[in-house]
Structure 1
């Protein structure tokens, strides 16, 4: 997984255009891997500690994506993933997936130090599922799953020294007498460097009889860049070169269109909104994929324009459910594994009910916080919540989730309720404002400005859903490696004294615009 700070330049202004613009998704969709089946593209991405996980998205044009499914409901059942006994999986969980289509079946694989295993999920239908799981030890870091023409199956994984291993025919583990060897030593050396992120994020293809391996490196003092190795045999020898060094856009691989055009899909660290996907045109020269336009990442692409990320990647939800509807649309993910006993969309039809099932010390340790991505260049998320079922010590509302989080919510203490704004800015949580609340239903809003990496947010409340009042201080949003994730909207309710209280969310509404004056 590529990590690090973004390069200090700005994105072009987001404006309507007759063609696609980079980034193609201005939201946290890191470690992408793509496959095309006919005229449909499928993309897998990292979501780490969130559940369900290993999201599968689909598109007909490489630009406009929608959620298709998740490969798993929960990665594993342990204290870290369940937010139990003081443990958590922030910045951990599953990373850097690989997605393949082989003999009519889809495969999505990932690895997790949190489970200690390599996980392979497979299905005949990535939209409807079900996804079935195979897993084995050890956990193979940033691997690429590869089905070769001769019927053998491999993974290449590791950092710096990249290792090729052969899998059993049923994919249940490493083949005892199979290939198991380092095929590329010190991958960063192709850039003439000796220190830094030495080469990871492996993705492998076989094109016209040759093998092509993509990796990311980050030389110390330099920027993230793409390297490519190629070989006539999977065991080598491999020759490598730097393929792209621009704006820190790196880590990903190759995809072709039905018309025969080629692109590299890559991502860029872009501050608090997260790691955002780019497409880079590819031409083939002397058997090598040549990335970019004159070596640069273009602002525009000869592809259809984006219709926006709503409702494909994020979406509003009135929590109205008809018979046969999913309990939660695919845009939602829980912060860590949920406890399904304590949430419902049927206890009060038209509402999401969150009930406290235990006592927690703070928001980051609270279970059953329901999340969606934020999006750039700016966005707004709002909720209405009925707090009449709260107990003393409860806190519920709307948050922007990262280690340095901010929230606007309702606290009940001594039978009275207050609206509060709480933020974390490289220290303990601080209550920046407190306003008495005399009614049962309140509207809450958070607005985010990612323009030119301002990375600031503001919080609001309304007593009637029409007139909004800013509350508390400006939140300076910071992408921190302990969480390793862009900021997400989060609906939450937790108890600090006794469990059993509940709140009912009437809606969550998201917009790609900020609406309130500051």
Structure 2
């Protein structure tokens, strides 16, 4: 007995020691955090990313070690007020909204910029306190695609933008727009270092200064190849950028920039298209050699990094929510984002304490037109989320529950049909053409109770990209229900799959559903 105890203690010690000595691993964040831009202020790193049609928008993440990140703020609550932003009159801005952002710090002020094709504007948000705000917004036309802001030593502000043919403009000191007459071509063909036959021309500009020289990072996609990092170098911010190199080409890990640590190490931050979970960040060691950045270990992104081990994405990037709030708590934790602009009169955490109430305010045709759908990222390699739902006050035609949101979405919930409550599961089995005639698979059975537990499980291992749905009457014994969802990343939404809490009406508005909690896990059942 004593010998067995010693063995057990040794195993525990070994596991503990391994956990302490094991470093960070790639991917850095196994969730949809694309188009990253980073800045270091002292010993603290800040990162912005893209969430397009989700609000609040342009998430700001913070780290002390480059390995463990948490969401600390957003640059804006909403981009504006228009039919497409509000999901009104059949309009939407799926896959649009704010795209690749740029984060910078200059003389005590943080700058976070982005652009939106659907509004036709460029936005620059400024604040002295990036974690608490407040933010000042500056917006102007046109929408400068994939731009990079750069503050020169003399105080002049430049912006590089465009695709393949890259342009340079100078901004007004008050950030109200571009100085007239300053727009000019900076690089005629920025993809050239990677070849001449491109599927995607150079874009995603990020500009940095190191040892007196200027380095412009872009990505491109050669035909028959993969997403590739190219770098151009110049002696002045205005160019010429005659020197260019193919800087990194490994598994399509590309688009981003570079960051240094207080102790002098350098890393490239990039992302990889990883199927249905989305575009996931990688961190790649780099060094300077003959005045050029050398990215990777023998040209590859390593699986392990000489950084502290990750503590996981829960609860800093994704989190459970019991919907109970203490005085001083945020109404909604930062892990949540609404699909499009919310209608704040139709959701509440106060009407029934400890519950999220979603009320239908209009009749819609389906999930993608539903207002007040509340979302969080899914994550890999596997994940699950489940809710407890009170359906007593739903009306005819209402459908409420838990979804996996993308263009090929899946849902499990309760629908009121002909006065009866039904457990219903829907998958988009294939995408329709321009008229949106998607093919659906669905299943339903009667529900004789007022409360039900609903769960979605996702398997992203080796890009398997499948999900299954379950229901339970006690939250313990789960029954698989409906068909398996074949998840697919589509450009229509341009985003990884999201857990989504929804309630909408197809017949008459005014019904509501109460969510007792949302709980998330990095485990799934054995399929």
Normalised by the shorter chain, which TM-score bucket?
over 0.9
Match of 2:26 in 1: 22
Give me the whole-angstrom Cα distance separating, in 2, the residues matched to 1:406 and 1:492. 12
Give the alignment partner of residue 288 of structure 1, picking from 278, 292, 309.
292
Match of 2:526 in 1: 517
**What displacement does 1:194 show?**
3.1
Match of 2:4 in 1: none
- 1:248-274 CA-to-partner distances (Å, cap 9, x unmatched) read 000000100000100000000000000
Match of 2:384 in 1: 380
Task: Give the secondary structure class of the aligned counterpart of 1:508.
Answer: strand
How does the TM-score come out when normalised to structure 1? 0.96
Q: Does residue 87 of structure 1 match 2:96?
A: no
Task: Give the secondary structure class of the aligned counterpart of 1:341.
Answer: helix
Match of 1:136 in 2: 140
Contact 1:422–1:429 (8 Å) recurs in 2:
no
Give me the whole-angstrom Cα distance separating, in 1, the residues matched to 2:67 and 2:51. 20
Structure 1 pair 453/468, CA: closer, same or farther in 2 (3 Å)? Answer: same
Match of 2:338 in 1: 334
Contact 1:457–1:474 (8 Å) recurs in 2:
yes
Question: Any unmatched runs of 5+ in structure 2?
Answer: 1-17, 432-437
Q: How does 1:457-496 map to 2 (within 5 A)?
A: 457-496=467-506
Give me the whole-angstrom Cα distance separating, in 1, the residues matched to 2:526 and 2:225. 39
Contact 2:429–2:441 (8 Å) recurs in 1:
no
- 1:99-120 CA-to-partner distances (Å, cap 9, x unmatched) read 0001101110000011110000
Contact 1:418–1:437 (8 Å) recurs in 2:
yes
Give the alignment partner of residue 114 of structure 2, picking from 102, 110, 118.
110
How does the TM-score come out when normalised to structure 2? 0.94
Match of 1:10 in 2: none
**What displacement does 1:162 show?**
0.5
Match of 2:275 in 1: 271
**What displacement does 1:213 show?**
0.5
Give the alignment partner of residue 309 of structure 1, picking from 303, 309, 313.
313
**What displacement does 1:431 show?**
4.4
Give me the whole-angstrom Cα distance separating, in 1, the residues matched to 2:214 and 2:81. 38
**What displacement does 1:192 show?**
2.0
Task: Give the secondary structure class of the aligned counterpart of 1:278.
Answer: strand
Match of 2:221 in 1: 218
Contact 2:121–2:141 (8 Å) recurs in 1:
yes
Larger radius of gyration: 2
Contact 1:161–1:185 (8 Å) recurs in 2:
yes
Q: How does 1:390-401 map to 2 (within 5 A)?
A: 390-401=394-405
Match of 1:11 in 2: none
Give me the whole-angstrom Cα distance separating, in 2, the residues matched to 1:468 and 1:49. 33
Match of 2:355 in 1: 351
Q: How does 1:180-219 map to 2 (within 5 A)?
A: 180-219=183-222
Match of 1:370 in 2: 374
Match of 1:31 in 2: 35
CA RMSD of aligned residues (A): 1.0
Give me the whole-angstrom Cα distance separating, in 2, the residues matched to 1:195 and 1:32. 23
Give the alignment partner of residue 501 of structure 1, picking from 505, 511, 521.
511
Give me the whole-angstrom Cα distance separating, in 1, the residues matched to 2:203 and 2:136. 27
**What displacement does 1:195 show?**
2.6
Match of 2:460 in 1: 450
Q: Does residue 153 of structure 1 match 2:162?
A: no
- 1:286-328 CA-to-partner distances (Å, cap 9, x unmatched) read 1111000011111111000110000010000000011111110
Contact 2:428–2:441 (8 Å) recurs in 1:
no
Give me the whole-angstrom Cα distance separating, in 2, the residues matched to 1:386 and 1:431. 25
Give me the whole-angstrom Cα distance separating, in 2, the residues matched to 1:193 and 1:32. 27
**What displacement does 1:432 show?**
2.5
Contact 1:26–1:377 (8 Å) recurs in 2:
yes
Q: Does residue 241 of structure 1 match 2:257?
A: no
Match of 2:3 in 1: none
**What displacement does 1:429 show?**
5.1
- 1:337-363 CA-to-partner distances (Å, cap 9, x unmatched) read 101110001110100000001110000
Task: Give the secondary structure class of the aligned counterpart of 1:187.
Answer: coil
